[in-house]
């Protein structure tokens, strides 16, 4: 066993290599769309950290990076529906073309809140890049422009995604054993 988290994983959905291949493709597509346009990447903390690091490198775009901390989960596997800003951005985004980088689009509450917030702050446009999309659980009319993988309605962890702040550093994406969060 490579690490002491593997034992809590029911099954691996996407391996490190599969994620790498997909993120490289997404980066190329972003380059095609945004080259010469000076976009600003806005990563949603904490879940985006690994995807953001790989996506911005894969894009090859000459661009700035920003992070915003948002929270709608209180160590549970269901969204509370209430989104809070836990860390705000450090620069003015007026007139900027933004690329939001998110780990997973689930109910849509987080991205509905964030899109509205960023437009109110004067963003010129918003493009959403999400690593995972769980469309079966959507509550808000939000669609992502770039989706890495569409996932079934199961609680997933790894490659940035957590359960109770743990498992973010798994290199793959897997389904957590229900016994981990029902005990």
Chain residues in the site for Mg ion (CB under 5 A): 47, 103
146's contact among Mg ion, ligand IMP, none, with CB below 5 to 8 A by partner kind, is none
Nearer to Mg ion (CB atom), residue 47 or residue 148: 47
Q: Are 77 and 155 in contact (CB under 8 A)?
A: yes
130's contact among Mg ion, ligand IMP, none, with CB below 5 to 8 A by partner kind, is none
- As measured in angstroms, the least distance from the Cβ of 116 to ligand IMP is 13
> Any catalytic annotation for residue 106?
yes
Exposed e or buried b for every residue in 150-169, given b needs 16+ CB within 10 A? ebeeebbbbbbbbbeeebbe
Nearer to ligand IMP (CB atom), residue 54 or residue 106: 106
Give me the catalytic one of 8, 75, 88, 106.
106
- As measured in angstroms, the least distance from the Cβ of 122 to Mg ion is 24
Q: Are 156 and 174 in contact (CB under 8 A)?
A: yes
Phi, psi of 52 (to 5 degrees): -60, -50
What gap in Å lies between CA 20 and CA 25, rounded to an integer? 9
Among residues 176, 141, 183, 142, which one has the least CA distance to residue 157? 176
Residue nearest to Mg ion (CB): 47
Nearer to ligand IMP (CB atom), residue 41 or residue 73: 73
Q: Are 102 and 128 in contact (CB under 8 A)?
A: yes
Where along the sequence are the contacts to ligand IMP (CB under 6 A)?
Answer: 47, 72-73, 79, 102-110, 155-157, 161
Q: Which residues are tagged catalytic?
A: 106
């Amino acid at each position: 066993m490579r690490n002491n988290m593997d034992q809590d994983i029911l099954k691996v959905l996407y391996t490190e290599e599969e994620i790498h291949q997909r993120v490289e493709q997404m980066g190329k597509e972003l380059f095609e769309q945004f080259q010469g346009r000076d976009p600003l990447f806005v990563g949603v903390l904490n879940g985006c950290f690994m995807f953001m690091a790989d996506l911005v490198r894969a894009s090859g775009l000459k661009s700035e990076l920003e992070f915003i901390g948002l929270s709608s989960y209180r160590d549970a596997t269901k969204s509370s529906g209430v989104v809070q800003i836990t860390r705000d951005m450090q620069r003015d985004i007026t007139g900027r073309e933004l690329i939001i980088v998110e780990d997973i689009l689930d109910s849509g509450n987080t991205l509905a809140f964030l899109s509205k917030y960023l437009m109110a702050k004067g963003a010129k446009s918003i493009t959403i890049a999400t690593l995972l999309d769980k469309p079966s659980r959507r509550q808000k009319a939000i669609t992502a422009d770039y989706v890495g993988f569409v996932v079934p309605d199961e609680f997933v962890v790894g490659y940035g995604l957590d359960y109770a702040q743990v498992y973010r550093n798994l290199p793959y994406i897997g389904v957590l054993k229900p016994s981990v969060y029902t005990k």
